[in-house]
Chains A and B, each alone.
Chain A
Amino acid sequence: MENFYKDNAEIEKTIDAIGLDEVAELCEEGFRFAGEYDFAPVDSADAIDNYKRALSICGEICARDIAPTAEETDRVGNVLNADGSVTYAPGIARAVKLLGASGLSGCTIPYCLGGLNMPCTVLTAANEIVSRADAALMNIFGLQGIAETINRFADEEIKKQYVPKLCDGTYTGAMVLTEPDAGSDLQSVKTSAWQDENGNWFVNGVKRFITNGCGDVLLVLARTEPEFSDGRGLSCLLVEKGPKVKIRRLEHKLGINGSPTCEMVFDNAPAKLVGQRKRGLITYVMSLMNGARVGISAQGTGIGEAAYRAAREYAAGRKQFGVAIEEFPAVRDLLCDMSADLQAARLLAYYSSKSVDLEDGLSKKFESLKGTPEAQAVRARMKKYAAFNKMLTPMAKYYASEMSMRVSNGALAVLGGSGYMKDYPVERYLRDARITTIYEGTSQLQIVAAIAGVAAGLYNEVIDDVLDGVDVPPNLAGFVAAARELASAVDAANEAVKNNPLGKVYHDLHARELVDAAICAVVAALFVRYASRFPEKEAVLEYWKETKFPAARAALERAKSGYSGAIGNFGRIAPACVAE
């Protein structure tokens, strides 16, 4: 039987190479749930076996039920009905039910609220598998951060009312943040919320570009403190779908057509406050967004996987000039580049997910150990991963989303004219990939988020962490040295950029080159870890070093050059388009 987990050994190997033993132990809080729930694991091996079983069930549903509907879903999209309700494409509606019934929609939610209590890394793998089948579906399935946010910040009553139904697929949710004039800049949100004399909240305003705005449980960012015009005046409110919430438009998009993107109006819609006032953007949405970014890194990886497979298979079967086109060196190099790019993105996405899991797990452990002698050491490690995540999450989102563009573009090149036609799914992969570099913060904004860590040289510590406890075989020792050397070259470029007289402007101008080179070094270390466990990966590691290091070094040279024409000569190089 077809199975998108079992037919792709890379997922399991990547999980094994990254290693989830400690994550499992933290997630299960020392396996204390085993007595309480008959399905809870008793040790790490048991837990990791569960993770793989969950992914296999996900892989079966995706291959058997979801992938075959993706083309139709892309074609028919969702329908906005006259009464303001939205009807999902049939494939999406069925998939939401199936994934919910399996339990996968509550992947990271604790057992007590109906979830699987699995780590974020498992959700990342599940999101990858779902996205390979239908990237648009991931936008609904991957919205598990809604339940997570409610679980983390709302009071008990709200949790019990909504979270179990989000886990079993009865409800879907939406994060209702952006507005016509508040996209990347969420501080300027205008939607407001007010409280009547009995303490009931009501929401008013217009929201735009809301993924799955037609969902049942809406987490709305709204201004509860009119005296603050910035992020400090915003709170998070839960609004249920109802007559006071109208969807007035579904966007017509380039891709992910199965994902309904809504423009919606709240007309004194009854609401419940989630957590505390004023912390909506600063705490809750930031946490939600970080989770969502991890999700997009998985979505990019899934699209890349689908596109790579289509290209690889086509190149083996398509004959020109009497031979399969995979025999041509140019095609081979393109496919190798796509494969290495894809594997790098997966390693980065899974490793950054694991780092998120360690921060969360250690934070919980610290709370339980407070006041004991071990507490401080736990806290120190938690802080280390918290710092990593500020850099790694945006890096993974940036890299995997850009990879999905490169790889689906490469797949189209391999298929040539056929790829340009709707007869093959590759043009859809390319259209679907494009959004991943835009939403949950554009690539440019991910670089802004990652650059602080890069400027501080944090990638060196990340490389230490990646290689910690890895028994590197002698044949791979040279690659470790090379990765460290590249990291030192980033150190030197950092210094040069910091010392440029243009200051911050110059730093912003060259942030991308620094981030790219740092990613290149971190990925090399991840490939060393991978190849230390799976020796056949040495070839990929070598390919990475030979083809990607020179480009990284060239980028660093550019950063160090001192050239800033894009700033000083902007108008001359990119003249304004004004009518005579």
Chain B
Amino acid sequence: MNESSNGRPGGYNSVVCIKQVPDTNKVTGSAMKADGTINRAALPAIFNPEDKCALEAALRVKDRWGGTVTVVTMGLPAACGILREALMCGADKAYLLTDRKAAGSDTLATSYILSKAVAMFKPDLVFCGRQAIDGDTAQVGPQIAEKLDCAAVTYLTGLEMDGDFAVAVRDIGTGVERDRVHLPALFTVSEAFGELRPAVVKRAMKYKKAKAPAENGGVALEGDLAIGQISCDDIGAEAERCGFAGSPTRVSNIISVVLAGGNYKDIPATDEGVASLVAELCADHTIG
């Protein structure tokens, strides 16, 4: 890859889209409310795991070729927790995109809003996690690229820079693919890329005090402890394309499936046992 490892003066400016999600690995019986929505109070809010990998990808570009790393999240002010985490690990600047108009956005509206925010920074590289562990759609990254009219490289496992191009390695399941793409370009990153580095202690000591105006009575902090705060108006997003208004997705029904202790059956490891299982699954239309 040496022939393609040339950067350019000033390095590359990256924007990483990150999301605060309920920790769905810690789902318990109280994780869903009676109406089928997530009981966020019962689940700890965490930095979406693959978004951490996206941040790591951006930080590695910065380490090797220079430039800056900006993180953006769309959410309630509580999402500033993951912005602070990102700053502690090495991000240069963090922005909270918070707006009532954005509430209830599906992937279409979310990618529209984020694309508007990302465009504001005129980045060379955009990184997203492959998917969030709450929605698991894997749609937002590619949809942002579509709206920015730039290349999208999904399942990123390696990245080299070459002037105004990036040479990306992506996992295509049956092997790897190397893509040479012109900048700007967007990458979605999965855990195969590598874990986010640990925080730097001094950055943790400093950025634990970073705040967005929404957390500070509307007042922005001074200097680099300020987490930027932006609204749909700031980025020129049209109201009818944001939030519920901009979201064609309608959830028709959610079923809370509670597995009780008795809901299993011992199938004897015999031909008869297997035959009875297959017959039952066929009758149930699970298979066949």
Q: Interface on A for B, CB 8 Å cutoff?
A: 38-41, 49-50, 53-54, 57, 60-61, 64, 98, 101-104, 116
Contacts and interface: CB of A to CB of B under 8 A. Distances in A.
A60 B204 contact: no
A53 B208 contact: yes
B198 A39 contact: no
Pairs A-B, 7 closest by C-beta atoms: A39-B206, A103-B201, A39-B205, A53-B204, A54-B201, A39-B202, A50-B205
B146 interface: no
B78 interface: no
B200 interface: yes
Q: Interface SS of chain A: helix, strand, loop or mixed?
A: helix
Contact of A57 (B201, B206, B223): B201
11 contacts: A53-B199, A54-B204, A57-B199, A61-B198, A64-B195, A101-B198, A101-B200, A102-B198, A102-B200, A104-B201, A116-B201
Interface in B84-135: none
B241 interface: no
Contacts of B223: 38
Contacts of A49: 208
B197 interface: yes
Contacts of A102: 198-201
B203 interface: yes
A38 B223 CA distance: 10
A64 B195 CA distance: 10
B198 A57 contact: yes
Nearest to B201: A103
Nearest to B195: A64
Interface string B190-224: 00000101111111111010000000000000010
Contacts of B195: 64
A337 B245 CA distance: 64
B197 A53 contact: no
B197 A101 contact: yes
A61 B225 CA distance: 26
Contacts of A39: 202-203, 205-206
A98 B223 CA distance: 29
Contacts of B208: 49, 53
Contact of A103 (B197, B200, B225): B200
Contacts of A116: 201-202, 205
Nearest to A38: B206
Contacts of B202: 39, 103, 116
A55 to B, nearest CB: 10
A439 to B, nearest CB: 28
B207 to A, nearest CB: 8
A103 B208 CA distance: 16
Contacts of B201: 50, 53-54, 57, 102-104, 116
Contacts of A57: 198-201, 204
A20 to B, nearest CB: 15
- Give the residue among A38, A40, A98 with the most B Cβ atoms within 10 A: A38
Contact of A98 (B198, B203, B225): B198
B193 to A, nearest CB: 16
Contacts of B205: 39-41, 50, 53, 116
- Give the residue among B195, B198, B203, B223 with the most A Cβ atoms within 10 A: B198
Contacts of A103: 200-202
B198 A50 contact: no
A41 B206 CA distance: 9
Nearest to B223: A38
Contacts of A40: 205
B35 to A, nearest CB: 31
Contacts of A101: 197-198, 200
Nearest to B205: A39
Nearest to A103: B201
A50 B200 CA distance: 12
B198 to A, nearest CB: 5
Nearest to A40: B205
Given A50-B201, A53-B201, A102-B198, 5 more contacts: A39-B206, A53-B199, A54-B204, A64-B198, A116-B205
Contacts of A60: 198
A102 B195 CA distance: 15
A168 to B, nearest CB: 10
- Give the residue among B195, B200, B225 with the most A Cβ atoms within 10 A: B200
Nearest to A42: B209
B186 to A, nearest CB: 27
A104 B223 CA distance: 26
A23 B22 CA distance: 38
Interface in B225-246: 225
Nearest to A104: B201
Contacts of B225: 38
Contacts of B204: 50, 53-54, 57
A54 B200 CA distance: 9
Nearest to B197: A101
A435 to B, nearest CB: 28
A554 to B, nearest CB: 47
A470 B270 CA distance: 67
A40 B206 CA distance: 7
Contacts of A54: 201, 204
A51 to B, nearest CB: 10
B144 to A, nearest CB: 27
A60 B197 CA distance: 10
A53 B198 CA distance: 12
Contacts of A53: 199, 201, 204-205, 208
Contacts of A104: 201
Contacts of A38: 206, 223, 225
A60 B201 CA distance: 12
A38 B224 CA distance: 10
A526 B59 CA distance: 45
Contacts of B198: 57, 60-61, 64, 98, 101-102
Interface string B172-199: 0000000000000000000000010111
B197 to A, nearest CB: 7
A7 to B, nearest CB: 15
B64 to A, nearest CB: 15
- Give the residue among A40, A57, A61, A64 with the most B Cβ atoms within 10 A: A57
B204 to A, nearest CB: 5
Contacts of A50: 201, 204-205
Contacts of A61: 198
Nearest to A54: B201
Contacts of A98: 198
A247 to B, nearest CB: 31
Contacts of B206: 38-39
Nearest to B47: A1
A104 B199 CA distance: 11
B240 to A, nearest CB: 40
Contacts of B197: 101
B195 to A, nearest CB: 7
Nearest to B203: A39
A54 B199 CA distance: 9
A29 to B, nearest CB: 16
Interface string B259-273: 000000000000000
A49 B208 CA distance: 10
A122 to B, nearest CB: 10
